[in-house]
Amino acid sequence: MKVTEHLEKAKEPFISFEIIPPKRGGDIKSLLAVIEEISKFRPPFIDITSHSAEIEYVETKSGIEKRVKRKRPGTLGICALIQNKYNIDAVPHILCKNFTREETEDFLIELSYLGIDNVLAIRGDDNGFSKPVPAGRSANNYAVDLVSQISAMNSGKFLEENLLDAKPTSFCIGVSGYPEKHFESPNLKTDIVYTRQKIDAGADYIVTQMFFDNTVYFKYKEACVAEGVNAPIIPGIKIITAKSHLTNIPRNFFINLPADLTGEVMEAKNNDQVMEIGVTWAAKQVIDLLDKGVPSIHFYIMQNARPINLLMQKLKLHKQYYFIAG
């Protein structure tokens, strides 16, 4: 089922998750344990991140060698597993960065064969490596270009013309939204214009970057509506679990952390206290969002289900939400 259909048909608020594949050569068992844990909260869909090739410098007998590799392959296999073993819709992330349009089309065709109805179209982060585009091939530069390609496939238009047996795909297309603006945009208004362009190109819904102040989300939603963006906007939440998040999150995601939250985390004596503070903060965010009528919430959990379990225990004390198991 498509994400937009889940939103339309849901009688109660629901939650969804975003996970990350294990590193190359890693063990899938730990990720499967995470999926088992979060599946009890009845998520209608789970996002699986995708990663392009990166440069890695390796010390060898002959000196330092530069190697190009994908550190986290496996998105397609994990999608198939989630969809078929757990009966949960998988939402793979599709990247512009370091993928040709031809590679993207092949990947999307494989997803369609698997019965996967949803994708999240993003440009991808700059990881210091830019793969050359071979002669005769092309690439999407921005997320709006990627959305246009997927939308064209939904209309039966493929890169190779005159494909007599080609059948249109039917992907529900999600895109990212930035309540505190994308770091490359000059201001929030301009960033929302870019978001509207993605919707106009065929995107169906928006998932926001993480935020820790709900007023940021509601102001963003109002600004989007004012700019003619009427697609569903799903709020994204991250639970603080380590003191290192105070520096890593602002540096990597270009967002602000509230002073009250920062102060509490800095005073924590150990990681357990940090997690308790993060869970308590997230619980307040979730309760406020749901009480104000938000129909769904997306959690960035990567490969750690413990904070979510702690969060659900706190939410049980407030009221019985649909997505709490038991």
Over range 265-291, report the average pLDDT: 96
Q: pLDDT band for 326, please (50, 70, 90 cuts).
A: very low
Mean pLDDT on 179-194? 96
Average pLDDT of 258-275?
96
Q: What is the CATH number of domain 3-241+295-303?
A: 3.20.20.220
Least confident of 48-52, 170-174, 272-276, 311-315: 48-52
Contact yes or no for 138/101 (Cβ under 8 A): yes
Q: Structure pTM?
A: 0.91
Split at pLDDT 50, 70, 90, the class of 101 is very high
What is the structure's pLDDT at 50? 86
Token duo for residue 159: 């890169």
Q: pLDDT per residue over 22-33, tens digit each?
A: 887 777 899 999
pLDDT of residue 281: 98
- Indicate the burial class of 163 (C-beta count within 10 angstroms; 0-12, 13-18, 19 or more): exposed
Mean pLDDT, the chain, as a whole number? 90
Looking at the chain, the whole-number percentage of residues with pLDDT higher than 90 is 76
In single-letter form, the type of residue at position 91 comes to: V
Q: Is the pLDDT of residue 148 over 60?
A: yes
- pLDDT beyond 80 at 110: yes
Q: Is 150 exposed, middle or buried, given 0-12, 13-18 or 19+ CB atoms closer than 10 A?
A: buried
> Residue 293 has what pLDDT?
93
Domain residue ranges of the chain, discontinuous segments joined by + = 3-241+295-303
Radius of gyration of the chain, Cα coordinates, nearest whole angstrom: 20
